[in-house]
Amino acid sequence: MMTVVLIVIVGILFFFVCLILSIPLTKKHLIIDSEKPSDFGLDFEEVRFNSTDGIPLYGWWMPTIGSRRTVIFLHGFAGSMVPDLKYVLSFHNAGYNVLMFDFRAHGRSQGTHSSLGALEVRDALGAIAFAKTKGSDKTGLLGFSMGGRTALMTAALKPGIDAVISDGGPLRLRTAITEDIKRRKLPGFLSPSLAWMILLGASVRLGINLFKHDPIQVAEKLQTLPVYFIHGDKDRYTHLIELETMVRKSGNKAQFWRVSEAGHREIDQFYVDEYIQRVIGFFDNWMYE
């Protein structure tokens, strides 16, 4: 009897620790930068729309006169849409509308929990629907880090988009968490187990199985869609073998750009002009009017 009680107590404590460890992954990120599109000389409309599960999201709609092509920007984890404003003028000059928004539990949007992609897919679907109400005939997704994960998993649902770019989107969440734990100087042999515990706690907290929500698990559903992977070889959050597997399974429309000296989301720092040319060139190739 005492053995059973002890096992139950240990189990409860283990479960409690998993929930505690998952807080950094699932918590709300109240980062509200002061910059606006007008600071970059851009005309914009403040917009609000809902995710497909009803969470109110805040964003900016930046139209180009006469264009029916729209690229939706999807920002990274624990940030906001603001840092990506630096790319918008180039898209306008190329004839694209741009829709930016803060994911749930980020920036100015509502929501209490983040999930590093699984729940954010519902936000991206809401953004796609909103872009359609603005007359978008061609729609692309440009995702950065968490936004890249979200873009790929959204595209696998085939919601009526024409092209997708993932810049540094981690392809396996467990890999990303494991490597982040290592980065924090914790013992390397503990990292995989701690990552598993974090995913378990987060899955319970969010009510969604995060072990089953990774881009690499839905790669074959992207085979009919043009996808562009941008990857720095020093990016610890995605292993090279994962990238190669993802590209191979994504079909013959998948392309990738690897830069050996770049880390996570650093390629645009090494190749400023080429980065914009490649990204816009990819959308131009698949979203022509």
pLDDT digits (tens, 9 = 90+) for 169-184: 999 999 999 999 998 8
Mean pLDDT over 270-279 rounds to 96
In a domain? residue 3: no
Work out the pLDDT band at 189, boundaries 50, 70, 90: confident
Higher pLDDT, 7 or 237: 237
The string of pLDDT tens digits covering residues 9-36 is 777 899 999 999 999 999 998 877 789 9
CATH, residue 239: 3.40.50.1820
The secondary structure of 37-57 as a DSSP string is GGGGT---EEEEEE-TTS-EE
156-193 per-residue burial string, b: 16 or more CB within 10 A, e: under 16? beebebbbbbbbbbbbbbbbbbbbbbbeeeeeeeebee
Q: Contact at 8 Å (CB) between 168 and 232?
A: yes
Asked if residue 288 has pLDDT above 90, the reply is no
The two three-digit tokens of residue 242, written as one number? 């994962």
In a domain? residue 189: no
**56 residue type, one letter:** P
In a domain? residue 57: yes
The parent domain of residue 226 ranges over 37-184+213-286
In a domain? residue 235: yes
In a domain? residue 192: no
The two three-digit tokens of residue 28, written as one number? 């709300």
Asked if residue 188 has pLDDT above 80, the reply is no
3-state secondary structure of 288: coil
pLDDT of residue 181: 93
In a domain? residue 208: no
Beta strands 56-62 and 97-101, pairing class: antiparallel
Q: Contact at 8 Å (CB) between 60 and 44?
A: yes
Work out the pLDDT band at 6, boundaries 50, 70, 90: confident
Mean pLDDT over 63-87 rounds to 96
CA distance 246 to 233: 15
- Sign of the alpha-carbon dihedral angle for 79, 109, 282, 70: negative
pLDDT of residue 199: 97
Instruction: For the chain, give the percent of residues with pLDDT over 70.
Output: 98
Rounded to a whole number of angstroms, the distance between the first and last alpha carbons of the chain is 73
3-state secondary structure of 230: strand
- Mean pLDDT, all residues of the chain: 94
pLDDT of residue 272: 93
- Sign of the alpha-carbon dihedral angle for 217, 223, 226, 232: positive
Between the alpha carbon of residue 5 and those of residues 13, 16, 17, 18, 230, the distances in Å are 12, 16, 18, 20, 52
pLDDT of residue 185: 77
Mean pLDDT over 35-41 rounds to 92
pLDDT of residue 262: 97
Q: Which residue has the tokens 């979200």?
A: 150
How many domains are there within the chain? 1
pLDDT of residue 43: 93
In a domain? residue 112: yes
In a domain? residue 262: yes
pLDDT of residue 177: 96
Work out the pLDDT band at 2, boundaries 50, 70, 90: low
Asked if residue 1 has pLDDT above 70, the reply is no
pLDDT of residue 3: 78
